[in-house]
Structure 1
């Protein structure tokens, strides 16, 4: 991410995953064996197998018993400008919206939040995946990833689970959610917690860096950002961080409120309920206290527990900035959350993905962002903006 407009800051581990699951079968072969990161066995059922009451926050098994825990106007955040330059080329070809054009089943939260930095930068990332890959391979990005991993290992072990299908991939996510919520209840803290859900007809997927309870008992989301310089980011950079945290809260709150529906996973993600899970997934599920054989078992287990675990909504949102090399704290910024404002922002941002509008580049006053962008030479918006600016200067001189 060093050259995606935020050259001094590392995004969360979500950006570093090669999420092949996001793409449809039209664009890749999803049958290859994968390896999925999952929280350690200590997060699941304990050795005693003791039982509790439904609603207490414990994990519920499929048979009902309780497993003791082991508008289309552009919102304020995006801004607007009379100097915006329309794209010459129509990207949504053959009546396909961008989700269909790029063969996407879902979007990552970081992709959506970075639209507020530069929407075209996100689009170019899908159009030119080879260039995008160079960003994820950047040593600065990898260094930031190691900081996140070190934080995660402070709380629990990380193990690899062999997966063979997209259903396996999602089953592991489900188990991570269940073991993560169990850890949150027992220890008051969890790191790298998956969140997902549908907004504006688009399925969003993300990973929360950390959830913990404050001394006052408030559930707090804390996103970790590492920086090369010993300084806080600019306001433009912080807007993407604030938006990211806000989307995480929206998805998490909806999940624990039981608003996920099984039909969404079948229709939007095209997952097969009767798909047998790989032996590695089944074995690991058993190791953390569950018995699942099919994807339907894993999905039902997730939805049942989200209904009965009685997990509260997130109360506070914070962004923690640390120096990448030394780990020294640089500051903590609180995020003001307004659900109506967030939904208005998402309505605009996601309207591109549903084919309701063309992508927008940065406003002319934000053209400084282009200096950090690896897609500058491919950007029609940038070229048109420069041409229009030069023409405007020429016209003024002729007057």
Structure 2
């Protein structure tokens, strides 16, 4: 094999290694929410002894003390919805995918998956057990350990009992309310929730880290852990850049006051007058807020966002961290092109709103299929092979 052939083979191998090679705090949280299979926890930052505290909440299941065996309702999904996904077909003309898969919102991570391969994203929903198996690999578990260790550097963990979806979403808002003044005073905050409505779809995510640099710029830093001691391929880099750009779009929308009360209540189907649980009210009081209902929490949050001095995000960066050596690989500063981001996002959301059928990767990205667990059953791959065979038969 000549040098050019060897180099091409190495590039292809790096591309294959990049599939599920990069992980971040927000991705791990979002993925566990989508699967409803990992610990029922959320982050709530609190100052205790000069250190931030991460508040996890117990999901409304059989017992408020069982955090590892209960199904998380804060994602906005019904437990029965997930059980029924495997029985649902890839195409149902009567319902759009948001309705078919019982989704009140989409996560940033789900959209990132879609930007890698839309067909894989759909199959992951239809066959959650396959996705769950993929998430149990050693690289993912190592990434989880690294992120947890980093999180605990500035946060302690406490728990707040929740009983309803309104409790869970109120805790997210209280989390943000408590982090806003910390960020305003120049402190670093982690796991900052962001959300907003784009193209009529409610989108939620969690920013890994927000901090100010020496120039006074507000920096969004997204940590990615990698098993390879190298920067990612262009294909993976594109996904990561899309992720942080979408985070900025959502954060800036919050700062500008673009998110309204009706967006939160109507899209997530939450009850405005639902009385919050005793644990949630007690914690709200501890951090300086007196809220009795979910609407109180929403009003407090929106008022604070209107009055706060937070700017829009100035700088986006990706920090790559090697799992093996636990050392830095490098930092990638990401340019923000809002016009292109909105074009890409609109295209992805057109599938979810039923304007088009799901699509697989383009022919130049067919190498992604080689590491996909659905390669043998994927309709997109079968159709591509059929077309290829027809063309070959025509030539002969």
Matched, 1:10 2:15: no
- Equivalent-residue separation in structure 2 for 1:241 and 1:43 (angstroms): 33
Shift in CA distance, 102/5, structure 1 to aligned 2, threshold 3 Å: farther
- Equivalent-residue separation in structure 1 for 2:116 and 2:40 (angstroms): 32
Larger proportion of helix: 2
- Equivalent-residue separation in structure 2 for 1:44 and 1:346 (angstroms): 42
Shift in CA distance, 43/381, structure 1 to aligned 2, threshold 3 Å: farther
- Equivalent-residue separation in structure 1 for 2:25 and 2:273 (angstroms): 33
Select 1:36's aligned residue among 32, 35, 41: 41
Residue aligned with 1:131, SS: helix
- Equivalent-residue separation in structure 2 for 1:142 and 1:162 (angstroms): 27
For residue 95 of structure 1, report the CA deviation from its aligned partner: 2.2
> Does the CA contact (< 8 Å) of 1:5 and 1:370 recur in 2?
no
Matched, 1:345 2:356: no
Give the stretch that moved more between structures: 308-317 or 278-287: 278-287
Determine the structure 2 residue equivalent to 1:95.
Answer: 94
Shift in CA distance, 139/161, structure 1 to aligned 2, threshold 3 Å: farther
- Equivalent-residue separation in structure 1 for 2:50 and 2:320 (angstroms): 35
Give the stretch that moved more between structures: 232-241 or 272-281: 272-281
Determine the structure 1 residue equivalent to 2:236.
Answer: 237
Determine the structure 1 residue equivalent to 2:292.
Answer: 293
For residue 324 of structure 1, report the CA deviation from its aligned partner: 1.1
How large is the RMSD of aligned CA atoms in angstroms?
A: 2.6
- Equivalent-residue separation in structure 2 for 1:181 and 1:382 (angstroms): 47
Can you list the C-alpha shifts for 1:141-161, whole angstroms capped at 9, x where unaligned? 121122222222222223222
For residue 138 of structure 1, report the CA deviation from its aligned partner: 2.6
Determine the structure 2 residue equivalent to 1:385.
Answer: 384
- Equivalent-residue separation in structure 2 for 1:137 and 1:166 (angstroms): 27
Shift in CA distance, 130/292, structure 1 to aligned 2, threshold 3 Å: same
The runs of 5 or more residues in structure 2 that have no matched partner are: 1-14, 52-87
The runs of 5 or more residues in structure 1 that have no matched partner are: 29-33, 47-88
Paired residues for 1:182-201 under 5 Å: 182-201=181-200
Shift in CA distance, 3/232, structure 1 to aligned 2, threshold 3 Å: closer
Higher relative contact order, chain-length normalized (CA < 8 Å, sep 6+) = 1
Residue aligned with 1:274, SS: coil
Residue aligned with 2:258, SS: coil
> Does the CA contact (< 8 Å) of 2:44 and 2:172 recur in 1?
no
Shift in CA distance, 355/181, structure 1 to aligned 2, threshold 3 Å: same
Residue aligned with 1:325, SS: coil
For residue 5 of structure 1, report the CA deviation from its aligned partner: 6.3
> Does the CA contact (< 8 Å) of 1:43 and 1:180 recur in 2?
no
Determine the structure 1 residue equivalent to 2:220.
Answer: 221
For residue 293 of structure 1, report the CA deviation from its aligned partner: 1.5
Paired residues for 1:299-310 under 5 Å: 299-310=298-309
Determine the structure 2 residue equivalent to 1:71.
Answer: none
Give the TM-score of the pair, scaled to structure 2: 0.81
- Equivalent-residue separation in structure 1 for 2:334 and 2:308 (angstroms): 27
For residue 279 of structure 1, report the CA deviation from its aligned partner: 1.6
Residue aligned with 1:37, SS: coil
Shift in CA distance, 175/291, structure 1 to aligned 2, threshold 3 Å: same
- Equivalent-residue separation in structure 1 for 2:281 and 2:160 (angstroms): 10
Shift in CA distance, 167/3, structure 1 to aligned 2, threshold 3 Å: farther
For residue 209 of structure 1, report the CA deviation from its aligned partner: 0.7
Determine the structure 2 residue equivalent to 1:356.
Answer: 355
For residue 114 of structure 1, report the CA deviation from its aligned partner: 2.1
> Does the CA contact (< 8 Å) of 1:109 and 1:247 recur in 2?
yes
Can you list the C-alpha shifts for 1:293-342, whole angstroms capped at 9, x where unaligned? 11011111110100001210000101111101222111111111011111
For residue 123 of structure 1, report the CA deviation from its aligned partner: 1.0
Can you list the C-alpha shifts for 1:158-180, whole angstroms capped at 9, x where unaligned? 32222111111110110111122
For residue 45 of structure 1, report the CA deviation from its aligned partner: 12
> Does the CA contact (< 8 Å) of 2:143 and 2:225 recur in 1?
yes
